[in-house]
Amino acid sequence: MSTPLSADQLVKALRDEGLTVVEIAGWRTHNRNHKGPFGPVHGVMIHHTVTSGTSNSVALCYNGHSDLPGPLCHGVIDKQGRVHLVGNGRANHAGSGDGDVLTAVVNELPLPADNQADTDGNRYFYGFECINLGDGKDPWPEVQLLAIEKAAAAICRAHEWSERSVIGHLEWQPGKIDPRGFTMQSMRARVADRLQTSTTPLPQEDDMALTAEEHRWLAELRKFALDYHGKLADGTDDPRDVYDYIRGTARDSAALKAQVSALTAANKTLVDTVARLAADVGDLDPTTIVRELTAALESVELRLEIPDTTPTS
Ligand SMILES: [Zn+2]
């Protein structure tokens, strides 16, 4: 299936993948279709914006600039992991690239080096601009990487493509460096993992009133549980066993947090006490110093008891 998704289909695909989607006013009819065709579509292209700040980056990608009219992509992925939709149809993002790369994408094969600019990429690729300065120093928050993974997977899932249909601008057009700061190989691996799990509810989960994203997580957790723990305790794969596992993990996590904060408090008390003793250390013998330190620490030792924490799950 290589007919471009409609606006509604695109929004649904992204939301079903668990993304927060922001629809910028006018995006549904904002495109460059008067300059050339859009479709058949064959892949998803990832870029960095070379900008910072969400609102001005989104505005730039919607409007474009004097040399390059907008839309400059279909969606802008911000540092909080939200996808801002700015275009629907042909967009000025891919430029001319290597036809051999397009052939590899169509056939879901490993990519050859991009050494030609002989093919109109705006016709064949969805584009996501990801907010990053692209200087190799601006960090990529995990929530943003996750959103890139989800957005790419959403489109691959909708078109029944594999992760091989996800490429970076740098793999398409000679001279391009984006995205910089993570490898497309690692992103394709993430997309491949994600595509292995379903967003469609399993029949026995219908009574749980979960969102599509929760169903997907549940499927992932079941896979995890089965992969790493063999068959679940009673030999079934009842998802409720997985909930018990999650609750247990949440309880352990809360206990660990309590221990860490108690240790932090103990450490601070120790430092404060040493600082106080250092002020008049000449008047104190070692036994007194040890006794004072011990007394100070005993006051916080009680807090090392693990509180009975009830996770909110
Ligand atoms: Zn680019």
Distance 93 CA to ligand 1 centre (A): 6
CA dist 304 to 260, 271, 301, 311, Å? 9, 18, 5, 19
Q: What is the pLDDT of residue 136?
A: 93
The CATH class, in words, for 7-195 is: alpha beta
Distance 46 CA to ligand 1 centre (A): 7
Distance 9 CA to ligand 1 centre (A): 24
Q: What is the pLDDT of residue 184?
A: 98
Distance 178 CA to ligand 1 centre (A): 5
| Tens of each residue's pLDDT in the chain, 313 residues | 599 999 999 999 999 999 999 999 999 999 999 999 999 999 999 999 999 999 999 999 999 999 999 999 999 999 999 999 999 999 999 999 999 999 999 999 999 999 999 999 999 999 999 999 999 999 999 999 999 999 999 999 999 999 999 999 999 999 999 999 999 999 999 999 999 887 765 555 455 667 777 778 877 777 776 665 554 444 555 555 666 777 778 788 888 888 888 888 888 888 888 878 777 767 777 788 778 877 877 776 554 444 454 444 4
Distance 62 CA to ligand 1 centre (A): 15
pTM, 2 dp: 0.67
Angle between helical axes of 7-16 and 212-229 (0-180°, round to 10): 40
Distance 98 CA to ligand 1 centre (A): 14
Q: What is the pLDDT of residue 208?
A: 60
Q: What is the pLDDT of residue 311?
A: 47
Q: What is the pLDDT of residue 232?
A: 47
Distance 251 CA to ligand 1 centre (A): 44
Distance 199 CA to ligand 1 centre (A): 30
Residue environment code for 69-104, b if the CB has 16+ CB neighbours within 10 A, otherwise e: ebbbbbbbbbbebbbbbbbbbbbbbbbebbebbbeb
Distance 148 CA to ligand 1 centre (A): 14
* Residue 91 backbone dihedrals phi, psi, to 5 degrees: -135, 150
Distance 20 CA to ligand 1 centre (A): 23
Distance 106 CA to ligand 1 centre (A): 20
Q: What is the pLDDT of residue 137?
A: 95
CB 109, CB 84: distance < 8 Å: no
What is the location of CATH 3.40.80.10 in the chain?
A: 7-195
Distance 168 CA to ligand 1 centre (A): 8
Measured between alpha carbons, how far is 10 from 215 in angstroms, rounded to an integer? 20
Distance 129 CA to ligand 1 centre (A): 7
Q: What is the pLDDT of residue 218?
A: 78
Distance 97 CA to ligand 1 centre (A): 11
Distance 73 CA to ligand 1 centre (A): 9
Distance 112 CA to ligand 1 centre (A): 18
Q: What is the pLDDT of residue 135?
A: 96
Q: Which residue has the tokens 């029949």?
A: 203
Distance 54 CA to ligand 1 centre (A): 17
- Joined together, the tokens standing for residue 63 give 């409007």
CB 97, CB 121: distance < 8 Å: yes
Distance 80 CA to ligand 1 centre (A): 20
Distance 222 CA to ligand 1 centre (A): 37
Distance 64 CA to ligand 1 centre (A): 13
Measured between alpha carbons, how far is 115 from 157 in angstroms, rounded to an integer? 29
